[in-house]
Structures are given as C-alpha cells and as structure tokens.
Amino acid sequence: MQTPLPRVLLGPGPSSISPKVQEALSRAPIGYLDPELFEITDRIRARLRTVFGTQNAFTIPLTGTGMAGMECCFANVIEPADKVLVGIHGFFGHRMAEITRRLGAEVITVEAEWGEVLEPAAIAKALDAAGKVKLVACVHAETSTGICQPLEEIAKLAREHGALFLVDTVTSLGGMPVEVDRLGIDISYSATQKCIGAPSGISPITVSERAWAVRQQRRAPVEWYFDWVLLKDYYDAPHTYHHTVPANLLYALDAALEEIEEEGLEDRWRRHVAVSTLLREQLKELGIKAFGRAEHRLPTLNAFYVPDAVDNEANVRARLLQDYGIEIGGGLGKLKGKIWRIGTMGSSATPRNVLLLSAALRTVLN
Ligand code: PLP
C-alpha cells in the first residue's frame, strides 16, 4: 500500500497538531485516580479558564468531542417544558435546537440567513413575546458559514430577561477572544481539535455560578454520564471514580495549552487574524470570492464561493488531498456544493500553509 502524504489540515477541523502535542499523546497512560493525573487536570483547568476568559470554578475538560459538550451543557439546565430561545445563523444553530427539542424543551427559534448574523432586535422581540425563557443559546463562530456572531447585546438581553446565556465556542476558543466573564456568558462548550491545537476527543466546558445554581435546583435527573455534579466530584475532591478519562488526550491538551501560554493568548489571536487575512488576499488573487460580509468574517475559518468555472467542487478538494495532501472543507447543509470552508486554526494557522494552499489551488484550477 502506498504511504499517504502527510496532511496539511486546512478544513473546518481537525487542525494539525504540533510535534510537542504529538509527542505528549504517545506517553504511557496512567490511571484515572493517579495523583499525577489530577495535577495535569488542575493545570488544564486553570489554563482553560484563561482561554475562556473566566474565573468559573467549574471549568473542565469533558471527555467527548464538541457534540458531547453541546449535549452536556443543555442537558444539565434544561428540563421538559422549559422555554429555550435558540438563535440560528447556520448548521450548528440547528443542531442546538434539535438537541434542545430532544430534551423536551419548548424551543423558540430566531433565524438569520446563513452568512448573516443574528439581530439583537429580533431576539428582543422573541423574548418579549415568549414569557419566561430559561435559556438563550447561540453559536459564536458558525463553522458552516465562517461568520462571527457578536455576543454583547444578546448577553445583555438574556440577563435582562432572567435567562441563562449559553454559547458554542467550538471554532473560536484559542483563536480569538472568548470573554466569558466580561460578556456574562453562563455556559460555554468548545472542542480541542480546532484553535486549541490538540486532537479531537475533549470538550472544554465552563459554567457560571448562576448556571450551577440552576442545575442544583432542577427536579428531573440529568443523563448520568454528563451530570455536572458527578463530574465535579471526580475532578475536585473527593475525586470519586466517574469514568476512565483518556489520559493521553489530556496529556496532549496539557501540551497544547502550554504552547498557547508560551505564545501568549493575544499574540495567538493576532496570528489568526494575520494568517486569515493572508488567506483572503491569496484567494482573491486567484479570483476566489470570500463569502459573507467582511466585518463578520472569522479569523479562524473562512468560507469562499466556489468559482463559476468549477463544475465539480468535490473534484478540486479530492485533487488537493491526493496530489498535495491538503484538506479543505466543502459546504454543509444548504451551502453544500456552493462554498469551500478553509480553516486556519491552531498549529495549522501559518503563512506557509496558506502559501502552499494557494499554489496548489492555482495548479488545480488551471
Ligand atoms: N459546534 C460547532 C460550531 C462546530 O463547528 C462543531 C464541529 O465542527 C461542533 C459543534 C461539533 O463538534 P464535534 O465535531 O467535535 O463533535
């Protein structure tokens, strides 16, 4: 069998991992109650508080991918018949609404066109009409469109209406500011395989005291695996066995967070801005138009219209992968076949990768 080319991961995730993170992954595992493991998880939790911009005590590396984080965060605060407002401006907003419905909530949705952002006025109107809403939720960085949702106004509205505010930061955490405490976000989940620079399999989550109190007051039980109270008893004293945490993924996350600390969070955000700017400039030179309004584009993932001259966009992606080892993403849902999604996240966010991609695209498109 032919050895596949090493991959340059410029899709919507996962992103590439650094040699240091890869080395950490290959260390020998240790047990789930080993005191060294709790030294590692305590360090991870402290560093996650820094990237989330929070002092929240309950900030943990939940086992599972970003979807586990999504399920877990809704499941702890939502009980059947609760009213939940979900703002939808892309594919992942729809997933939030679906999960919330499955929990038996009464879901009110406010939608924006894919490629646009949610308007606070529309959310205010829906909140005024709905009566008591327990939770307002939306996606910060919509991976399906490359669009960043401003959060400040929505956070304020949620607070004014006595609702918790839950935000998906899967494609933003570690690559751009996520200011949980300053904005008043009560609950957030992310994933490690994007801007954090670790493999997939861990979902960092953070929970405010307000949200914790709502969890404590609920009557219906929470799905066992995701119950915050049981998870707290594992990560904090008395360290009661809950499940066998994946030590190697935690080593890798610890190493990735150390790299973030060494680079400096603000320098890292600036690198993501610089590399995504270079990407847009390079693709513009090839006549490839960026999707969405300039002021709303993410520094972590950008969407581009597939040029009219391309009959089969999947062939272009297949050739990039086969001939050059470069992965980019296609469109999701209603944007399938219409856009390409190019991530410049974590260790993948380098000028070298962008220049490789633009040179490869130039060849493939000719
Ligand atoms: N939310 C957003 C915004 C995402 O982009 C993704 C994955 O790309 C998820 C949730 C789900 O994460 P995972 O695929 O790690 O389960």
**Whether 223 and 308 share a structural domain:** no
Per the CB < 8 A criterion, the answer to whether 72 and 99 are in contact is no
Q: Is the domain of 200 the same as that of 271?
A: no
The answer to whether position 2 is within a domain reads: no
Q: Give how far Cα 173 sits from Cα of 120, 141, 170, 244, Å.
A: 23, 9, 6, 26
Q: Is residue 3 part of a domain?
A: no
Domain end, chosen from 260, 284, 308, is at 260
Cα→Cα distances 118→84, 110, 138, Å: 16, 8, 9
Q: Examine the domain organization and report whether 309 and 242 are in the same domain.
A: no
Distance from the alpha carbon of residue 95 to the mean position of ligand 1, in angstroms: 10
Q: What is the DSSP string of 27-38?
A: SPP--TT-HHHH
**What integer pLDDT is reported at residue 102 of this predicted model?**
97
Residue 305 lies in a domain: yes
Neighbours of 273 (CB within 10 A): 16
CATH code (residue 256): 3.40.640.10
Report residue 78 as tokens: 């939502």
Residues 201 and 295 placed together within one structural domain of the fold: no
The pick from 71, 73, 92, 176 for probing ligand 1's pocket by mutation, whose C-beta has the most ligand atoms within 8 angstroms, reads: 92
Residue 359: give the domain boundaries: 8-14+264-365
Instruction: Check if 67 has its Cβ closer than 6 Å to any atom of ligand 1.
Output: yes
Spell out the per-residue pLDDT of the chain, length 366, in tens. Answer: 777 788 999 999 999 999 999 999 999 999 999 999 999 999 999 999 999 999 999 999 999 999 999 999 999 999 999 999 999 999 999 999 999 999 999 999 999 999 999 999 999 999 999 999 999 999 999 999 999 999 999 999 999 999 999 999 999 999 999 999 999 999 999 999 999 999 999 999 999 999 999 999 999 999 999 999 999 999 999 999 999 999 999 999 999 999 999 999 999 999 999 999 999 999 999 999 999 999 999 999 999 999 999 999 999 999 999 999 999 999 999 999 999 999 999 999 999 999 999 999 999 998
Please answer whether residues 40 and 30 qualify as being in contact, where contact means their C-beta atoms are separated by less than 8 angstroms. no
Tell me whether residue 1 is in a domain.
no
Please check whether residues 199 and 344 belong to one and the same domain.
Answer: no
Same domain, yes or no: 137 and 280:
no
The residue whose CB lies within 8 Å of the most ligand 1 atoms, and thus the one to mutate among 67, 74, 149, 205, is 67
Q: Does 85 sit in the ligand 1 pocket, CB within 6 Å? A: no
Identify the pLDDT of residue 147. Answer: 98
| From 167, 170, 253, 332, mutation site for ligand 1 pocket: most ligand atoms within 8 A of C-beta | 170
Binding residues for substrate: 341
Number of domains into which the chain is organized:
2
Q: Is the ipTM of this complex over 0.90?
A: yes
Say whether both 248 and 166 belong to one domain.
yes
* Residue whose CA lies nearest to ligand 1 atom number 7: 66
Q: Are residues 168 and 280 part of one domain?
A: no
Please indicate whether residue 168, judged by its CB atom, sits closer than 6 Å to ligand 1.
Answer: yes
Between CA 86 and CA 100 the distance in angstroms is 9
Q: Whose CA is nearest to atom 10 of ligand 1?
A: 66
The predicted pLDDT at position 2 comes to 73
